[in-house]
Amino acid sequence: MKKSTQDTAAPASELIDARIAELNDWRGEMLARLRAVIRAADPDVVEEWKWSVPVWSHHGLICTGEAYKQTVKMTFAKGASVPDPSGLFNSSLDGNTRRAIDFREGDKVNEKALKALIQAAIAVNKAGTKR
């Protein structure tokens, strides 16, 4: 029997691996690349599985990794409080709390800027910034 990514009894890392594998296209490759950048940003980041999507946390929620038909979206829970000097946020810009980055097929990932953004999100979490 094939294990579904809906099986929440499995460890989060296995569920994320399964989601990447089941996408089997550019979205899986993008999600895997984003996951690697998140892990490289801070070794203490915790992988979780919530709301049927990958979630990364450190002193609170950092971001989710959502795969849609045309995009892979990284939603930063406290993105409105996170400095974004490289202008990576390109979605959910009107809210008071979240910000997101939509990646489309063929998009390049600015790994250095994304790593800095993730580290800034962790710093916001550590500082207890709430918005």
Using one digit for the tens of pLDDT, what is the confidence trace for 2-17?
A: 444 455 578 999 999 9
pLDDT of residue 8: 56
Q: Chunked in runs of 10, what are the mean pLDDT values of the chain (131 residues)?
A: 52 96 97 98 96 96 97 98 97 94 98 98 86 50
Task: Return all residues near 131 (Cβ < 8 A) that are at least 6 apart.
Answer: 78, 80, 81, 96, 97
User: What gap in Å lies between CA 46 and CA 56, rounded to an integer?
Assistant: 6
pLDDT of residue 33: 98
SS3 content of the chain, % helix, strand, coil (to 5): 35, 25, 40
Q: What is the pLDDT of residues 84-103, one digit of tens each?
A: 999 999 999 998 999 999 99
Q: Domains in the chain and their CATH numbers?
A: 12-127 (3.90.1150.200)
- Token pair recorded at residue 108: 């390049």
User: What gap in Å lies between CA 41 and CA 14, rounded to an integer?
Assistant: 21
